[in-house]
């Protein structure tokens, strides 16, 4: 599998007890298929994977795959604290029919490069599921250096990296550095919605998008502009979304997307506790931005 284009990451609606709302999740996934996203990212950070049991994660994945019915590849989060648990989740994903797994080095004790390398090598070997490296240092407190990404790119079955988009500086230089150390055919993609467009313009192959999980047509318009070589239009569309990016930076993308889904009647679930839903002035601010950008009409 070669990951490219828009990989859209929806929330996973669930009860306060952690039981997945299968019908609600399928409805969100159906929107992504209708918008013709390039892949669906199930059970990513936006999908609250660490808060769900193995059984509920399988229920969510099965629901997504049933809804998609082979139309769109599914990338699914398989991160866990223990290597054996990550192996089991990756085996579940392969058995269910997922195209690839998204593996973060989830940890309590800080990990070394060698420990992360071994973790990925074991999960790839024992599951047989193609893996995408999930570099999310804001959550895992582990950052993948270029050398480690290069080493992992030569592990059979490790096929891609999902990197945080550079906030500033030489985006092209960072991408060139990764290309120089990774194996042929290895996909380099980016998350962090408000900076991802510049990384795609520089040559990144995939956009792992939170906004794409709820507003796929909006995100696909940016991806299509880049594919067509219309950099000015891609930047214009991205700049137009700055009020939303500002909300993401202020409240976190997870809280804003849950609030947006609720305001638009797309999902009634709240974020998993202890994360509290946005309320009062913060929720009103989200509603104002959605209306001002016309994102309420995409629902």
Q: What is the C-alpha separation between 159 and 153, in angstroms, rounded?
A: 6
- The answer to whether 124 and 155 have CB atoms below 8 angstroms apart is yes
DSSP state of 133: E
Cα 141 to its chain centre, rounded Å, is 17
The set of residues, in sequence order, having a beta carbon less than 8 Å from that of 284 and lying 6+ positions away, is none
Q: What is the C-alpha separation between 93 and 104, in angstroms, rounded?
A: 15
Q: Which of 19, 49, 117, 162 is catalytic?
A: 162
Does 46 appear as a known binding residue?
Answer: yes
Cα 58 to its chain centre, rounded Å, is 18
Q: What is the C-alpha separation between 219 and 240, in angstroms, rounded?
A: 12
Say whether 134 is catalytic. yes
Say whether 162 is catalytic. yes
Q: What Å distances lie between residue 228 and 4, 221, 224, 249, CA to CA?
A: 15, 11, 6, 29
Kindly give the residue spans of alpha helices, DSSP state H, lying in 37-159.
54-68, 83-96, 113-127, 137-140, 146-153
Q: Which of 19, 108, 117, 134 is catalytic?
A: 134
- The answer to whether 7 and 39 have CB atoms below 8 angstroms apart is yes
Beta-bridged to residue 206, according to DSSP, are 5, 189
Q: What is the C-alpha separation between 281 and 247, in angstroms, rounded?
A: 12
- The answer to whether 106 and 93 have CB atoms below 8 angstroms apart is no
Binding site per annotation, positions for pyruvate: 46
Residues taking part in catalysis: 134, 162
């Amino acid at each position: 599998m070669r990951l490219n284009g828009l990989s859209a990451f929806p929330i996973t609606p669930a009860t306060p007890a952690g039981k997945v709302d299968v019908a609600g999740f399928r409805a969100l996934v159906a929107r992504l298929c209708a918008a013709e996203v390039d892949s669906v990212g199930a059970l990513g950070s936006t999908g609250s994977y660490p808060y769900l049991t193995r059984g509920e994660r399988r229920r969510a994945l099965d629901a997504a795959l049933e809804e998609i019915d082979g139309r769109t590849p599914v990338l699914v989060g398989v991160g866990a604290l223990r290597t054996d648990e990550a192996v089991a989740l990756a085996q579940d994903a392969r058995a269910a029919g997922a195209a690839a797994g998204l593996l973060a080095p989830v940890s309590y004790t800080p990990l070394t490069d060698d420990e992360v390398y071994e973790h990925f090598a074991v999960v790839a070997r024992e599951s047989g599921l193609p893996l995408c490296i999930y570099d999310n240092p804001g959550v895992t407190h582990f950052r993948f250096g270029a050398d480690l990404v290069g080493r992992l790119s030569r592990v059979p079955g490790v096929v891609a990296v999902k990197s945080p988009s550079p906030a500033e500086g030489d985006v092209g230089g960072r991408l060139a550095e990764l290309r120089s150390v990774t194996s042929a055919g290895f996909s380099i993609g980016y998350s962090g919605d408000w900076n991802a467009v510049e990384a795609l313009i520089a040559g990144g192959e995939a956009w792992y998008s939170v906004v794409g999980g709820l507003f796929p047509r909006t995100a696909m318009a940016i991806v299509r502009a880049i594919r067509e070589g219309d950099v000015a239009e891609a930047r214009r569309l991205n700049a137009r979304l700055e009020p939303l990016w500002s909300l993401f930076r202020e409240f976190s993308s997870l809280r804003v997307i849950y609030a947006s889904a609720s305001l638009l009647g797309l999902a009634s679930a709240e974020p998993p506790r202890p994360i509290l839903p946005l309320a009062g002035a913060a929720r009103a601010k989200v509603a104002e931005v959605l209306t001002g950008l016309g994102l309420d009409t995409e629902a």
